[in-house]
Structures are given as structure tokens and as C-alpha cells.
Amino acid sequence: METTAVAGVMEMEKTATLFELAPEEIEVCLRLKGPAGRHELLHCLRPPAYEDWREYERNLRSTVESVETSEAGEEALRFESSALEAAAALYDRLFRRARGYQSDDGAGEVGAERIPLHHKELVVRGLSDVAAAGDKAEDAAGDVWEAVPFSLDAETVEVRLEATRAGAKCTNLVHVFRPPSASERVEHSRIHSRALYVRGSQTLKSLLPSRLPGLVALYDKLILEARGYAVAGRPLTERAALVRHMDPLHKKVAVQMLFEE
């Protein structure tokens, strides 16, 4: 029974549409409803590179600081981030054209500077729509899950993702890792706990640096193979090509899932 199930999963992976890692451009369609009616807004962007996502995380300027919450002097931690501004900056870097907007001069297409800020943020959310495959749907449905033993001698660990591209969801994305060593688990913990203290701050303010470089480095070190991806329509079969072409956000999410095991 188990063999049949595994074979069925493998067959689905073979016949499913591959997620293209090197498209000429990416289309994100926003379908919005407002006071003026329904809108279908198409945004065409160049594919983001590693440096684009790293700059995006820098622009988030995430900080945490200790603040008083009442006259009694109770303290709490306040988290701040420039998420809207960071998304707008990334959108402007990637923008090629947009359709579905109308201006007073009658132009069918508009420049990035005319796109509303919150539309830019929604488009960037669409670009980063990658997550663990199936988890959200299973949790929402309240499915009963069966516990399985945790293998201490596994030679590989599989992580499954799903991602959306041009309105279509790919659910056949598989990343195969070697199990992390104890030292690599310590390295992952340090990446997530790292913070930079702001000198002279009266509220113990700290900057939270980008985790992307460290997580990408861990992915590149641990990954063995991936399925469900393609470059120029051809499946990735070599590890070196996988490391070179894999989407940085897919690396980040996949390796974070690996360390949750």
C-alpha cells in the first residue's frame, strides 16, 4: 500500500508542470474590487535575482526595542519594519510595464511612479508566494494526521513546497537534503538569533539583519537534488545548476522547513 502511494506521488511529479526558474519576465495579476467596480491589473516584471531580494531585506530595516507601555513602567518589546517602503523599492527595480490602469492623458500603460503604493506591495507579495506544500489546507480542514517515527539514520530529508506563478499554483516542488549536522543546526540557530545593538540607544534598540545570505549558504551546502523545477523548459538534473539557478526565496523557505524537523 505504501509502495503504491509513493509511486503515485512520483508519477504526479513527472506529469506536473515544472516551475520555470529563468523566465524572461514574470506576470502578476491583481484582481481587486473597489468603489469604482472590479479591476484586473496586470504587472510585468523582470525576474528578481538574489541581490534584489537581499536589498529588499536590507530595506525592511527591521528593529526591536524595549519600550514602556504604561505609567507603571511596564516594559514590552516593540517591533518595527519598513515593509511597505521595501516592497515599493523592489517593485520599482523590477518594473517593466503595467496594464489595466487609466490616466487623464488616456495612456494605456503607465510608469512605475504612477502605480499606487499598496498595489506595489500586493505584487511583491505575489512574487514571494512560496510555502510548505499542503500544510495550510490540511490545518484548515482539520484533517486527522498519523504520527510516524522520527528516523535517526535517514540519509536524505525531503521538503515539499508550493508556489504560485501567473495565477497557477505548483504543488510538486521537492527539495532533497542531506540531514544537517549538529554544528549546522547551531549555525542555523545563530542566523535566527543574530541582532545588532544600536549604540547610544536608551531603549536597547537592536537591528535585525537580513537572514537571507546565511540561509542561502546553508541551502547550498545541504541540498542534494530538487524536482519540479526547470531552466529554459529543461528539468534541473545537476547539483551545480540547481545551486546556481534556484530561486533565493525557495532556498530560504525550503531550508527553514528542513531545520523545523
pLDDT at 204: 64
Of the two residues 90 and 194, the one the predictor is more confident about is: 90
Of the two residues 203 and 189, the one the predictor is more confident about is: 189
**Domain presence at residue 2:** no
**Domain presence at residue 26:** yes
Among 49, 9, 1, 57, which Cα is nearest to 191's? Answer: 57
**Domain presence at residue 34:** yes
Question: 209 in helix, strand or coil?
Answer: coil
**pTM here?**
0.80
**Domain presence at residue 131:** yes
Q: Supply the mean pLDDT for the chain.
A: 84
CA dist., res. 51 & res. 61, Å (int): 16
**Domain presence at residue 108:** yes
**Domain presence at residue 15:** yes
User: Across the beta sheet with 75-80, what order do the strands follow?
Assistant: 75-80, 63-68, 206-207, 196-197
Among 196, 217, 191, which Cα is nearest to 206's? Answer: 196
**Domain presence at residue 151:** no
**Domain presence at residue 93:** yes
Neighbours of 185 (CB within 10 A): 13
| Tens-digit pLDDT profile for residues 15-63 | 468 999 999 999 999 999 888 899 999 999 999 999 999 999 999 887 7
Range of the domain at 185: 7-144+156-258
Residue 139: pLDDT above 60?
no
Question: 241 in helix, strand or coil?
Answer: helix
| Tens-digit pLDDT profile for residues 140-182 | 555 666 788 878 888 999 999 999 887 788 989 999 999 999 9
pLDDT at 66: 66
Residue 121: pLDDT above 80?
yes
Q: What does the H/E/C string look like for 131-180?
A: EECCHHHHHHHCCCCCCCCCCCCCCCEEEEEEEEECCEEEEEEEEEECCC
Split into its structural domains, the chain has a count of 1
